[in-house]
Amino acid sequence: MARKKLLAGNWKMHKTRAEASEFFQSFTKLLGNVGDVTRSVEVGFGVPPTLFDTCLAKSQGTGVKILAQNCHYETHGAFTGEISVPQLLDAHLQGSIIGHSERRQYYNETNEAVGKKWNVLVKAGLLPIVCVGETRQEREAGKTLDVVKTQIDEALKFVSDEARSKEFVIAYEPVWAIGTGLTATPEQAEDVHKVIRDLLTRTFGEARSSTIKILYGGSMNAANCKDLLSKPNIDGGLVGGASLKPEDFASMVLTAKGLS
């Protein structure tokens, strides 16, 4: 069975409640029968905590997933500014992005922290979108595949056998292609996705690996998404800037639907 495409927007530190409401009004109108679309293509948005309630209300009944952009691996405690997985559950979210390169770069997030977050999310029945990817310097030094393998392997050390059996998504995001307008060619992206698939096959077996979604997360937009999504191991996108514009993101979702 073919893997269902997943397009996940990452709104980062953008949008007020009024802007989010306006977005969903336009986005759902552009998609037409949203429920029909989300039966063919999974759609989600990683949004700031101030927008959880608004986005959940505006997406109710559409099949669209509302996700956090980060979480803590402890269930409670003195961690000022953080949000716990029980709090995400209480807010009725369906998962969280973890290990985004901006978290790794600006907040010193380690592979260990990513693994612990992965572990607690899946144990709670929430979907982790686990981000991996190399910097420009690492790519130019020929270290892309080593970096990605290390990020996944080291995170998995902190994921229990039980948790490993639960659903998760990997997002390959070359750091040099995030917010820069640069994009890996479909061939470059597919090469890394194939390596990730092979790693997952060695770790989980071919049957399980064949069900795991691997997203591309480097400046995917309405113009390039068809070429990227047509590759056999690219199962969707973790989309930044283009997900802020309802016309662009709706176009991408409909493109993915056409490929399903």
Q: What gap in Å lies between CA 1 and CA 206, rounded to an integer?
A: 13
Q: How do beta strands 65-67 and 95-98 pair? A: unpaired
Q: How far is CA 86 from CA 93, 120, 214, in A?
A: 10, 10, 26
Q: How do beta strands 213-216 and 95-98 pair? A: unpaired
Which pair of tokens denotes residue 12? 């980062």
List residues with catalytic annotation.
100, 173
